[in-house]
Amino acid sequence: MAGSGAPETGGIDASGLNVVVIAGTWHEVITNGLIAGAKRVLDATGATYRVVRVPGSFELPVAAKAALDAGADAVVALGVIIRGGTPHFEFVSSAATDGLTRVALDTGKPVGFGVLTLDDEQQGLDRAGLEGSKEDKGEEAADAAIRTALVLRELRG
């Protein structure tokens, strides 16, 4: 867990931005912590948002694409993938990462990446923004999505 060197979050005005937070349903305690962190940032910045749930991290890219195609300015993708004893971890992690990258590039809109790829559950609890967590990856993903949407708005005039 890096922790050090993370950018400062908050302190921006995202009024007028429409954001969709899309979260998987696996590992509910961790995922709910990520959602709470994203909501705190979005509330503080004035962005309009809604939260939708998908079965797991594999489904995040298609839902993100649908949200952005329907007019969202940005998406915050949140999920939890914990390594097990089979190659499933690598397949799902790669599909989610590659799919979300493709969605961002194909739509030209930001996707905040809050998909935790973990060796064990404790790593997720440490990153979920829960009481006692060392990091808040939901907050960081939402902040990154908003900041990027504002940069894109400025670049496009």
What's at 13, amino acid-wise? D
Q: Are 57 and 81 a contacting pair, CB within 8 Å?
A: yes
**What's the helix, strand, coil split of the chain in %, to 5?**
50, 20, 30
Residues annotated catalytic, as ranges: 88
Q: Which residues pair with 114 in a beta bridge?
A: 78
Residue holding tokens 């905040």?
112
